[in-house]
Structure 1
Amino acid sequence: MLAYDVGLLIVAVIDSRTSRLRKGVAITREFGGRFAVGAETEVRIHVQNATNRAIQVILKDEFPPQMTLNGVREGRIDVEAQSTATLIYELTPPKRGRFEFGVTALRFKSRLKLVWCETKVTEPVSVKVYPNMRRAREAELKALGARSVVSSHRKTSWRGEGREFESMRDYVRGDELRHISWTATARRGKLTTRQYQIERDQTILIALDAGRLMTARIEKETKLDTAVHATLALISAAARAGDNAGLVVFGRKIKSYLPPGRGRDHIESALEALYAVEPEMIEPSYARAFEFIAANSKRRALIVLLTDLVDEEGSKELLTSLHLLRPRHLPLVV
């Protein structure tokens, strides 16, 4: 009896060492969409069996431990010949950033079906978790509505005089003296007036503070997370109004810059610029941020500053730095 057991054990060991996953069996991992904060996303493990025999496998997927698991990420699957079976589970990311999936472990029966053999399938993969665009659009519609700050600013500009230079023309009685171009007048030998047209689209530049005070938490997220979604809501509102919106993320230095634009591709670029932004434990430099904006935004713009202030010193630096934006730009501190 002992000899039989020993012989069976030897055969099982040899069977395990010589067994391989059949050719024609392929395992792939697929995501149901882009990962976003607080949104449930499907993860699918496909087992394709292109052989002429049914197989049985056990799968276990290695997902980022920071994410919340909904469903079962492991299970036994029977796959008929010339068919595909899928293991599906859901994950909910708690925050923005980059997360790592490991390999998928697969067990299959040995050739003699004496033991289960294990192998690693699929490659480790890194995924990005983006801000929740649905949340941003809901905030836009709820907080701003049809008469948003964007459209209000736009209407104000249309009621007044245009600010966009169009051409030069001869002075006509009644023209304002401040519109006279004295350089052109001297060159031409007669009074010449600058003519302006009403701006057809507005420019909004959002300056997002990623400094120390933005690390404070509001319920389950940082103030920066809240400001990121507010930023996307403003960009979406601007696009809806036909305006251009840009983005500057700053701390002690400039972290990222997205020139003003609009459209679906521009919103995608904003998501890319914001998904990995993290606050730093140092005071922001308003002066450096405003100098950057003044140097890179020549066209008049509404500058929306998303920041947090708790003391007189921080407020003083902000107020003394605002002159770097005026009079070309219109700053709005939120």
Structure 2
Amino acid sequence: MLKRFYQSLFFTTRFYAALGGIAIFFVVTFFFPSLFIVAQLLAIALFLLLLLDLFFLFRAGDEPFRVTRSMSNRFSNGDENPIALQLKSNYRFPVTVILLEEVPMQFQMRDFRQRINMKAGEETTISYSLRPVERGEYQFGKTNAFIRSLLGLAQRHIAPSNESTIKVYPSFMQLRNYEFFSFNDRLLEMGVHKKRVIGHSMEFDHIKEYTRGDDVRTLNWKATARRGTLMVNNFVEEKSQQVYCVIDKGRNMKMPFNGLSLLDYAINSALVFSNIALQKGDKTGLVTLAAQQVDVLPSSSKRTQMNLILERLYAQDTQWEESDYEKLSISLRSMFSQRSLLILYTNFESMTGLQRQLPYLRRLAKYHLLLVVFFENTELKKFAKDDVGSVEEIYLQVIAQKFAYEKKLMVRELSRYGILSLLTTPEQLTLNVVNKYLELKSRSLI
């Protein structure tokens, strides 16, 4: 009991300031002996006030103050994740509470401090949010509460055992947002463009009147002759097509933007895209490439596929080695007998890097519909447009413009060999990939 009391007792700055002031006053009494009795009275008064303060703080029992941390059991990578601290005071008088939260070491937050004034018996909630930029396990420590009375000479330390471990998964919040907007038919607000063309498969859907923008190749002349107005055939989209997200985990994907690596952007995009492809009736799968290791999650249209993709994406990490695209082309050629859509998330920073992998990309594009997704260097692009004043800055800006121009040359080089490409900023990756997929569906390329 005494040990617990000692461990939870802390003196405040106010107490040490008062004690220091009395000590100085005692020094003054050495020169003015008549003031010695006053100094003694002040010391006795401070001691009595301290005892009174301790009596107020510790007479409330073992649970005078309750603090509970409320949060999800998993976090979404790259998003703001809400956390709530629920506080309840069982004291019969107003108290001041200082909260020190032990957040996971990955956030490097050593200054989390909240000061709250609470009335007798009051309940309140403190909310804050954290944005992780790495996937993995995060360890939350205790929530330390220091309670002070109105006297403020001492404080009682209360730290409930609320340690917890949460896992940070790819951005499922972004996935939920897309699902919500899709359910409410508001994808246009997020930048996803719907395509008017229903499809050109062999599966007939219905006949309707011609409207401006319809493909004239689908005109139904017999129906037109009967109705006296132009009529067109509509066909349903091809479904149950195999769609694979191929994620390069080589050193090129380790480059960071706004705290997230390119690999994390690719993972978040692959998660959202897979969900949309499943809703469109296609089979989705996942391929990851690291050095000479190629891991494949077979495509499926089952409801459990999203959980399998999420768990597989959670454990991915970048490698310092360069990925072996020859191994990738050989593996996919032997595994996939059916023509599939391959969305390759990778990054090329120079034309030389693309030329090294181009023969293997051409081999993949020979048997599958290949879409190469790579990234604009937004920092270089911004620097290339900034105003410069010195010769050195001009020299650096020319180099930045050269790198930005090389990205456009890569798109042209890929198109020369019939390989689809998508050059995008990391922030717009998901939107652009989804729009490209819808465009390919409307053009009946898959």
Scaled by the length of structure 2, the TM-score of the pair is: 0.50
User: Equivalent of 2:133, from 95, 113, 119?
Assistant: 95
**Shift, 1:225, TM fit:** 3.4
Cross-structure match for 2:193: 145
Amino acid at match of 1:319: P
Unaligned runs of 5+ in 2: 1-39, 182-186, 204-236, 374-446
CA gap 1:147/1:315 in 2 versus in 1, 3 angstroms: farther
Which shifted more, 95-104 or 279-288? Answer: 95-104
**Shift, 1:207, TM fit:** 0.8
Unaligned runs of 5+ in 1: 161-197
Q: Deviations over 1:18-39 (max 9, x none)?
A: 7786337532101268533453
User: Equivalent of 1:27, from 67, 82, 99?
Assistant: 67
CA distance in 2, matches of 1:128, 1:235: 21
Amino acid at match of 1:96: E
Q: How does 1:260-275 map to 2 (within 5 A)?
A: 260-262=299-301, 265-275=304-314
The answer to whether residue 89 in structure 2 is matched with residue 41 in structure 1 is no
CA gap 1:295/1:116 in 2 versus in 1, 3 angstroms: farther
Q: How does 1:45-60 map to 2 (within 5 A)?
A: 45-48=85-88, 53=92, 56=95, 57-60=97-100
**Shift, 1:55, TM fit:** 6.7
CA gap 1:282/1:42 in 2 versus in 1, 3 angstroms: same
Cross-structure match for 1:230: 269
Scaled by the length of structure 1, the TM-score of the pair is: 0.63
Asked if structure 1 preserves the Cα contact closer than 8 Å seen for 2:88 and 2:123, the reply is yes
CA gap 1:313/1:114 in 2 versus in 1, 3 angstroms: closer
**Shift, 1:45, TM fit:** 0.9
Amino acid at match of 2:265: T
Amino acid at match of 2:101: D
CA gap 1:22/1:147 in 2 versus in 1, 3 angstroms: same
Number of residue-to-residue matches in the alignment: 284
**Shift, 1:241, TM fit:** 1.0
Amino acid at match of 2:252: L
Cross-structure match for 1:121: 160
Q: Deviations over 1:275-312 (max 9, x none)?
A: 45332221012233345545655654322222223354
Which shifted more, 128-137 or 223-232? Answer: 128-137
User: Equivalent of 1:319, from 343, 359, 380?
Assistant: 359
CA distance in 1, matches of 2:191, 2:153: 65
Calculate percent identity across the aligned residue pairs.
25
CA distance in 2, matches of 1:257, 1:48: 51
**Shift, 1:251, TM fit:** 1.3
Q: Which has the higher strand share?
A: 1
Cross-structure match for 1:251: 290
**Shift, 1:63, TM fit:** 2.5
**Shift, 1:117, TM fit:** 1.4
Amino acid at match of 1:270: I
Asked if structure 1 preserves the Cα contact closer than 8 Å seen for 2:68 and 2:162, the reply is no
SS of 1:230's equivalent in the other structure is: helix
CA gap 1:18/1:292 in 2 versus in 1, 3 angstroms: farther
Asked if structure 1 preserves the Cα contact closer than 8 Å seen for 2:50 and 2:153, the reply is no
Q: Deviations over 1:134-191 (max 9, x none)?
A: 65649x866763349xx99xx56x349xxxxxxxxxxxxxxxxxxxxxxxxxxxxxxx
Q: Which has the higher helix share?
A: 2
